[in-house]
Amino acid sequence: MQKNKSIVIVICLLSIAFVSSAWADEASSKSVVEQIVDAQTILANGPYKGLRVNHNKGMVVTGSFVPSSSAASITKAAHLQNTLSKVIVRFSNAGGVPTIEDTNPNANPRGIAIRFELPDGSITDIVSLSINAFPVSTPEAFLAFLNARIASKPDSPKPTAVEKMVAATPSLQKFIAIPKPFPVSFATHNYFGINAFEFTNSQGEKHYVRYQIVPMNGQELLSANDVAKAKPNYLFEELPQRLNKGAAKFRLLAQVATKDDVVNDPTAVWPNDRKLVELGVISLEAPVADNAAAEKALAFNPLILLDGIAPSEDPVLLARPGAYAVSVGRKLTP
């Protein structure tokens, strides 16, 4: 597949609302994805020059990926065959405030973005979160969710716009109820691909899968007391120290859907008893020398795909490149 210009990831999960009527009139002439970027910027009190609209507090590290022999059973994608790939991985906090404390509940869910660089120069990306769900099933609903948050001021009459939307939207109720723990380290957290992809193997067999990225030694979380004692930047301080002592390793897994599983809705969580196929091991070795420069240059896109992997028809997944294009354009504007 032709390498596209990389474009910024826009996955904001907990900011939402109705704008003022004047802003809404202006927004009505814009695409849904551009309105989403506008709303995220407002919620973060941005824009922040040169930074991503969302998940803009991040750290970039490098390493390698070794595929498992079982990966070829479900896909012919080149990076999941018998070859070693370099990886560039970005960990991040949620939200669009670059100074957000790692101990702030709004810094959850955490993000992980993985770029595989193959020996032939081709690339492919995975973008995942530390929570196995998305709050709504369409870009339009996501925009309404963002707008409802903007309209819900501290002095707004009860029930507020966002309270009304949550009450009327079961997927939002489920999303809010999901535990959002604080990890010991970015390297000790589980991450989930909320969108499904269609895998095709060399025999033409097809399966829908969602990614899971899990620490080799299992997930490690902080207690409430530990969170209260943690420093504001504890995750960003801990990771370089950890990597200085040795590689941090993750298992890359594919959760395989059955014929009855919903594959085009990121709010539909597949049961834990679904088959897991080992795709390989990600080894993270060191932070990049210049994080600011790497952050500026990198822009991940989960639709940069290699032969053997295709997107599902999930409308949230398919809308992301448009939102990324808007966001990267603003990031690069002098």
Using the predicted structure, report yes or no on whether residue 8 has a pLDDT greater than 50.
no
Domains annotated for the chain, with CATH where assigned, are: 21-331 (2.40.180.10)
d(CA 64, CA 249): 10
d(CA 319, CA 302): 11
Dihedral (CA of 12, 321, 62, 308) sign: positive
CB atoms within 10 A of CB 183: 22
Across the range 118-147, mean pLDDT stands at: 96
Indicate the pTM of the whole model: 0.89
Percent share of the chain, pLDDT over 70: 87
pLDDT digits (tens, 9 = 90+) for 181-218: 999 999 999 999 999 999 999 999 999 999 999 999 99
